[in-house]
Amino acid sequence: MAYADFFATEARGMFSPPNGAEPQVIPDYWRNSREEEPRTDLPELSDEELNALGWKGPIQLDMDSHTHYNVWNRETREWDIFELSQNHKQRNVRYQRFWDELIETSAYSTIKSNASQSLSANLILTEFIALLADAKNKHPNVVRIQQSLLDVLEFASLSDEENVEFESTFREAGMHAIYTLV
């Protein structure tokens, strides 16, 4: 039997099968063992009915992949979450993505506008751009980028909406794994 509505089944979340394997979308064809008849009704069952058959779920994974990694534990049938090393966090920062997305924001327009009106603000922004260029070329100076980032935000005078926009761009690129905004 094919899925009646795959997208609805997918939206229910992930379930770990009775054998303890990693969570998956509820299959429309499942057999626990060769001796058993295959089941084709799993997507139609409620969460409680699936749990009664040994399926565990729905299982969520609320984890920041820039700072942590997960390993499925077949015994506990849960995710074991481990923090990445500082070195891995640094390698996971996507400086190019941060830059590409930042320059499309109204936050950057405000920063740029403020920099055009003040020589000191212009110097701070120029240094920040140069440090990001080095970082995009695999030579990040973490200490200097952190200070420059704080300097840019100090002169920027961003609105609440622009701060949210900046922080979102910052997080999506994984910058938060290494740098802070305060």
| Same-domain status, 149 and 103 | yes
Q: List beta partners, residue 30.
A: 39
| Same-domain status, 166 and 115 | yes
| Same-domain status, 44 and 113 | no
Rounded Cα gap, residues 93 and 66, in angstroms: 7
Q: Is residue 73 in a domain?
A: no
What's the pLDDT at 1? Answer: 46
| Same-domain status, 53 and 107 | no
Rounded Cα gap, residues 91 and 107, in angstroms: 26
Q: Is residue 28 in a domain?
A: yes
Mark the ranges of the chain whose per-residue pLDDT is less than 50.
Answer: 1
Domain coverage including residue 27: 6-60
Structure tokens at 164: 């949210």
pLDDT tens readout for residues 67-89? 999 999 999 999 999 999 999 99
Query: Which helix or strand (DSSP H or E) is residue 57 part of?
Result: strand 56-59
What's the pLDDT at 76? Answer: 93
What's the pLDDT at 49? Answer: 93
